[in-house]
Amino acid sequence: MSTTERAARALKTVKDEEWRTLAGLERTASGYGTADLGRLSRTAKLPIERVRFAVGELLRKGLAQKKGSGYSLTQQGVELMALKDYVKKDLIFALGPIIAKGKESDVYEAVTEEGTKYALKFYKIGRTSFTKVRRKRLNESADIRSWMTSNYEAAKREYDALRKLRGLSPAFPEVVTHSRNSVLSEQVSGVRLMQRPELVDPRSAFVSVLGAMRLAYVQAGLVNADLSEYNVLTNGESIWLIDWPQAVPASHPNADDLLRHDVEALTTFFRRAYGVDVSAGDAYLFVRGRLPKLE
């Protein structure tokens, strides 16, 4: 079972004072990494003996861990808090199966009470440094702080980018919200282009990809900066551009180079995989909005 699945299971077993202790652990993490019982008692606003008991329960459930003289959240604890947030806001009802395991994230299906299926992406950047608890570390507090910072920020950055893209085109999964290390968005029913699925019309699929990149650039002022056949999904007809945490604004000093790189990666792929012949130069000008249409 993954940390996320264990977190989903723990959801029903966590009591009020444990939630407050978790929130206290999260709050101390950004400043100190770990918290001792005294600090936790103050942040959770609970008497020390209640906090001691709650921490014991959290340790037993794998939601907190002992770090030197203090305590910190585990990845499972972080993901539990995110899930609780979504459930409390009535956004999701249950966690479904895993959709994909990436290098830096795991994507799960999440289901609403009405049966709508969302994609719930949990960032796990640097997952080894967080989970290898036995390895001696010079500064465990700094590790925890930096794990939380980089994963919370990645989720926030992806949310911010998808928020800017919302409504511009069906090619951008509609984002719902984000919490902790996770982003909740529309689930699209496609496979990655790198699997080279059969396309109804490869050229028009490529033009759709470029058209979506153009909307992102011209309307939202965004360059994805990691586009390739890995981050484009398709059902053979429609295309979707996913994976936006590293997106940069069009005003960024490297935006032009990054855009050129994205365009070239996909031009090369469509030529090799589907024999679509579009010049990277024209494609680039089209995406920049400098060429009204592609011949």
Ligand X SMILES: Nc1ncnc2c1ncn2[C@@H]1O[C@H](COP(=O)(O)OP(=O)(O)OP(=O)(O)O)[C@@H](O)[C@H]1O
* Positions that interact with Mg ion (CB under 5 A): 231, 243
Which residues lie below 8 Å from residue 49, measured CB to CB, with a gap of 6+? Answer: none
If the CB atoms of residues 22 and 242 are measured against ligand X, the closer one turns out to be: 242
By CB under 6 A, name the one of 74, 75, 187, 267 that touches ligand X.
Answer: 187
Other CB atoms closer than 10 Å to residue 178's CB: what's the count? 25
Token output for 190? 């496609």
236 binds, among ligand X, Mg ion, none (CB under 5 to 8 A by kind): none
20 binds, among ligand X, Mg ion, none (CB under 5 to 8 A by kind): none
What is the pattern of x (binds ligand X, CB under 6 A) and - over residues 190-219? Answer: --x---------------------------
Size of the site for ligand X (CB under 6 A): 19
The values of phi and psi at residue 242, to 5°, are: -115, 175
We find the least distance from the C-beta atom of residue 178 to ligand X, in angstroms, to be 13
Segment lying near ligand X (by CB under 6 A), choices 14-22, 94-102, 130-138, 248-256:
94-102
* Dihedral over alpha carbons 41, 46, 50, 51 (to 10 degrees): -30
DSSP code, position 291:
S
Closer by beta carbon to ligand X, 13 or else 189: 189
Strands (E), 31-138: 64-67, 70-73, 94-101, 105-111, 117-123
What is the per-residue DSSP string for 5-31? HHHHHHTTT--HHHHHHHHHHHHHHHH
Could you count the other beta carbons within 10 Å of the beta carbon of residue 279?
Answer: 12
Instruction: Tell me if 103 contacts ligand X by CB under 6 A.
Output: yes
Residue pair 73/63 in contact (Cβ under 8 Å)? The answer is yes
Q: Which does 76 bind (CB under 5 to 8 A by kind): ligand X, Mg ion, none?
A: none
185 binds ligand X (CB under 6 A): yes
Instruction: Give the nearest residue (CB) to ligand X.
Output: 102
Residue 175 partner contact from ligand X, Mg ion, none using kind-dependent CB cut-offs of 5 to 8 Å: none
> Minimum Å distance from CB 121 to Mg ion?
10
Identify which of residues 43 and 231 has a Cβ nearer to ligand X in the complex: 231
Q: How would you classify the pairing of strands 182-186 and 117-123?
A: antiparallel
- Single out the segment in contact with ligand X by CB under 6 A; choices: 6-14, 16-24, 103-111, 135-143: 103-111
Q: How many other CB atoms are there within 10 angstroms of residue 101's CB atom?
A: 11
Nearer to ligand X, 243 or 262 (CB): 243
For ligand X, which stretch binds (CB under 6 A), given 17-25, 78-86, 98-106, 249-257? 98-106
